[in-house]
Structure 1
């Protein structure tokens, strides 16, 4: 029988090549062996419309996509993701693990594209009706390491991955600034740690989260809480 409780929302963030998907998969596997119901998902994507938008905004060959259009595409995908996938799963008491969430737009479009972090955050808070993770795992990766991982073997970089190193440096700083602004809601780990050590440290932090009463996930950011209802 599955263990069920209030839904828990965990986001994995970091630059391209940080190892988010690997660690989310490892965490999901461990939690499932313990009897939890886990929903793994990703952004952009997670829904049929989100996956179409993912291809549009990340694949090469779709023509020019200016910064504002890019930000709105990500926000549209996230709106569907929050409404159709994340909130229903939390309502069923599941543990939701997402590979990227709002912080990625704040970092990539807000800082990387220069649209302004506050403006992009406000757009995405509106798109998700204020839905924020209980915990964000930030894997901090040096842009040069990230690129070497992305281009290993025959892998090809997508539209955003192929941007210059200074773009990825701005993104890295934005992620770290976001974590520093609400340290209680983040676990920041160097992405170059051994894979097993990263897994162990993430699991230890998640165990603390699961042992505590889970706060509401419905309170919008800036309404008297840190955005996660805690």
Structure 2
């Protein structure tokens, strides 16, 4: 295992099993003597968590514009990158993130239909040269993912979107994954043991 700190991201639709995957990754890293700094998006800092609440809360009396949602996501991401991710990597810590920039490209780009011309300038400003060493994209049928999400309890504002929204989001996720080498696609429709086998294989190939 290289001593160079790595930035690992877990992505996927609601119900894809990101939390379970992150627990498995933490165990894989622990077996190699690594305790990562764990983050989530949107969120991960006090201000970013407040922005998360603004994005997630259901508002009966006001529609949230797609562009507003996009800007809130990148504002939260800037806080997290500046105050947590970059300092952790600079200090030699591995970082394990529940979502990152690929989410905005998929949800706001694919789901909301916002153009790359709108998103890319924000990406350049917020990310700079930061990119994950490995992104594990948990690919799941949106209908199955939403069924799992409903079983967890009350849905937030984004989780209440129609199935077509999540189908567009999945299409964008898969499009991005097909053209970027540092993204491993995990079939999250399979039983848990097989999903974990795929994750371990991807980690072994990319990082061991």
| TM-score scaled by length of structure 1 | 0.85
Counterpart Cα distance in 1 of 2:65 and 2:116: 17
Counterpart check, 1:122 vs 2:121: yes
Counterpart check, 1:7 vs 2:22: no
* Aligned-CA RMSD value: 1.7
Counterpart Cα distance in 2 of 1:135 and 1:180: 14
Contact 1:46 1:81 in 2 (8 A): yes
Counterpart Cα distance in 2 of 1:134 and 1:117: 22
Structure 2's unaligned 5+ residue stretches are none
Question: Structure 1 residue aligned with 2:167, among 166, 169, 183?
Answer: 169
Q: Secondary structure at the match of 1:107?
A: helix
Q: Any runs of at least 4 consecutive aligned residues in structure 1 with deviations exceeding 6 A, and if so which?
A: none
Counterpart Cα distance in 1 of 2:31 and 2:87: 22
Contact 1:86 1:96 in 2 (8 A): yes
Counterpart Cα distance in 1 of 2:155 and 2:48: 20
Contact 1:111 1:117 in 2 (8 A): no
Counterpart Cα distance in 2 of 1:18 and 1:120: 25
1:124 is displaced (CA, Å) by 2.2
Contact 2:2 2:207 in 1 (8 A): no
Q: How does 1:1-230 map to 2 (within 5 A)?
A: 5-61=3-59, 63-152=62-151, 155-182=153-180, 184-211=181-208
User: Once the two structures are superposed, what CA deviation does each residue of 1:7-43 show, in whole Å capped at 9, x if it has no partner?
Assistant: 1011111111111121012211231233112111110
Counterpart Cα distance in 2 of 1:35 and 1:85: 21
Contact 1:12 1:20 in 2 (8 A): yes
Structure 1's unaligned 5+ residue stretches are 212-230
Q: Paired residues, what number? A: 207
Q: Secondary structure at the match of 1:46?
A: coil
| TM-score scaled by length of structure 2 | 0.93
User: Quick one: structure 1 residues 112 and 179, their matched pair in 2 at CA, closer, same or farther if it must change by over 3 Å?
Assistant: same
Q: Secondary structure at the match of 2:151?
A: coil
